[in-house]
Structure 1
């Protein structure tokens, strides 16, 4: 593909984060079937990580939202159900990791999570979440991400439940990854 000046566009590395697949036997999207589906959309160097809906790829297209909508439509056409997808470029993933307000190197991956948002959530969405009510759990708002420190893990986190309420997430696509996955996706999206 070429740009308006007639020179080839440089492919960018992206991560596609699929929400709520392969959990409890519903919305099965085998990674071995997702890869060729993404390649058929024209993406290159498609790789998947884990079964929880993480794929990295290259594309000359520069609009992550359009890439996400296209992938959602392809998954629905191929598998018969809708899956919310967020597409983030490798630079954003690295910026998220670099800006982490918690001591990631000192924590287990299950204790630290990043919830990615399709757009920057307004601060007033978090008004209903009392930051002191869930201590020692904590959260911080970043650039289209909320960092969550949950020392006992996400499955036991009352703060994670509060952050997932409609007052916070309504109208936005959101998906959460543990810190080990964030670090791996940063690695996989580096040139």
Structure 2
């Protein structure tokens, strides 16, 4: 049995795409997912599963959300064992404030040409760094006002992505170690 983390994008934000986490846990548990737990209301799910790829698991979760809650939502699944590396590869070690450091996790690796073009962007008080599956974001201001937001990254890189702050990533790591 392998541990995974699923990140749902854009649920329970501004009254749209509402999903109660207890109901989501029940749907997943009754459809073959093991030891399902959630963290806060923004669609962070820890679970165990056998012999499926992260993309297959994401597709299954997406299908279950649509069937049970009536809408589609982007889903990113990663093996829990990947989380320590993602956190350790953070190039912004001096920025440890969770409200200024964000991780935009990429569902697939973007084309090199799109990454190269993206690296030309510069915004005041915003910095970023790429790895193959994550864009690390550091802000001196507020993420709500950031130009380097999830929609911008998805639009420019042409990949699905979802963003979490440092505090959430650290908590997911802690929960995945249990």
Fold equivalence (TM over 0.5): yes
Change (3 A) 1:161 1:114: closer
Shift of 1:162: 7.9
The structure 2 residue matched to 1:100, chosen from 90, 96, 107, is 90
What is residue 177 of structure 1 aligned with on the other side?
164
Shift of 1:107: 2.2
User: In the alignment, is the contact (CA less than 8 A) between 1:96 and 1:143 conserved in 2?
Assistant: no
The TM-score with structure 2 as length reference comes to: 0.91
User: In the alignment, is the contact (CA less than 8 A) between 1:117 and 1:145 conserved in 2?
Assistant: yes
Task: Indicate the SS of the match to 1:138.
Answer: strand
Shift of 1:165: 5.5
The TM-score with structure 1 as length reference comes to: 0.86
The structure 2 residue matched to 1:72, chosen from 62, 84, 90, is 62
User: In the alignment, is the contact (CA less than 8 A) between 1:129 and 1:163 conserved in 2?
Assistant: no
Runs of at least 4 residues off by over 6 Å: none
What is residue 145 of structure 1 aligned with on the other side?
134
Gaps of 5+ in 2: none
The structure 2 residue matched to 1:33, chosen from 14, 23, 30, is 23
Once the two structures are superposed, the pairs formed by residues 32-181 of structure 1 within 5 Å of their partners are 32-103=22-93, 106-126=95-115, 127-128=117-118, 130-131=120-121, 133-160=122-149, 163-164=152-153, 166-168=155-157, 170=158, 172-181=159-168
Gaps of 5+ in 1: 1-10
Over aligned residue pairs, what C-alpha RMSD do you find? 1.8
**Equivalent residues, number:** 177
Q: Distance in 2 between matches of 1:130 and 1:122?
A: 15
Q: Distance in 1 between matches of 2:161 and 2:62?
A: 14
Q: Distance in 1 between matches of 2:98 and 2:55?
A: 28
Shift of 1:129: 5.0
